[in-house]
Structure 1
Amino acid sequence: MNKKEDSPSSLDLIWGVSEIAKMIGRTERQTYHMIQSGNLPMVKQVGERYVASRSKLIAFFIEDAA
């Protein structure tokens, strides 16, 4: 196994709008709109795909709910 693949940061990443949508409980369309409008500021575009940190998304929604 590659040590880089096993690092906590690589395990924390969610790739693609569909996977991000599943994580936050929204449709792909809702998620894409949230990304474009800046409501999910921790999402970055890498090439043609979006990538997000699972832990940052969780923290964002926990903070938002408080």
Structure 2
Amino acid sequence: MEDANNKPRPVWGAKAIGHEIGRTERQAYHMLEAGLLPARKVGDKWVADANQLHALIKGEAA
């Protein structure tokens, strides 16, 4: 479901990011480490914006 105001919706951790994109935690972690997903590390946790993840999946990401 897309946010009507397009506000950032942070998704914390490889497990949650994987769930958001339909991948396992391990698959998401490898994609994150390889720089294939729009995310960054904050401390020892990965964080991504759900809207950017969905845009990437739909092919709308720049």
Structure 1: runs of 5+ lacking an equivalent: 1-7
Structure 2: runs of 5+ lacking an equivalent: 1-6
1:50 to 42, 46, 49: 46
* Segments of 4+ moved more than 3 angstroms: none
Corresponding residue of 1:20: 17
SS in 1 for 2:11: strand
Which structure is larger by alpha-carbon Rg, 1 or 2?
Answer: 1
Aligned residues, how many? 54
- RMSD between aligned residues: 1.3
Structure 2: distance between partners of 1:37 and 1:47: 18
TM-score (norm 1): 0.75
Amino acid at match of 1:60: L
